[in-house]
Each structure stands twice: as structure tokens, then as C-alpha cells.
Amino acid sequence: MTGRAEELLRAALALPRTDRADVAAELLASLDESGDTDRQAVEAAWAREIERRARRVLAGESSAEDWGAVRARLSDR
């Protein structure tokens, strides 16, 4: 790591947690070479999946569980 990079790292580590998280997210995003095309494909795939799941629920092919019951069961563990 260069001296400049180490200096930036020390400065970033001195930031509050939320600012560090924002910086980390931006740095990670800058490494993503896939660009908007892949992002759009992912969003489209999720939209199709949400639609598929909604159709199953509306057709009675899938059942749901009350969030309160799930939360209580998980907290009992």
C-alpha cells in the first residue's frame, strides 16, 4: 500500500461508523466492473421472482406465516 493510501485509510478509520460504512460501500462499488447492464438484469430477475411468488400466493399454492409468530419462534431459539 502506498503512503497516500495508508494516510487515506487512517483518515477513513477515524470517521464515525456510518461514514465508514458509506466510504466502504462506495469503494466496493468502484471495484464493480459489471456496470448498469448487470444491475438492470438483476433487478429484472428479482421483479420476475416477486411476480412469480405473488401469483403463487394469490392462486393459493403457497401459504404465508404471520410475522409475529415467526419473530416469536425465532426469539425462543
Place of cell 487512517: 10
58 secondary structure, DSSP code: H
User: What pLDDT sits at residue 54?
Assistant: 92
User: What pLDDT sits at residue 65?
Assistant: 87
CA diameter of the chain: 62
Q: What is the pLDDT of residues 23-63, one digit of tens each?
A: 999 998 888 766 666 778 889 999 999 999 999 989 999 88
User: What pLDDT sits at residue 41?
Assistant: 87
Q: What is the pLDDT of residues 11-30, one digit of tens each?
A: 999 999 999 999 999 998 88
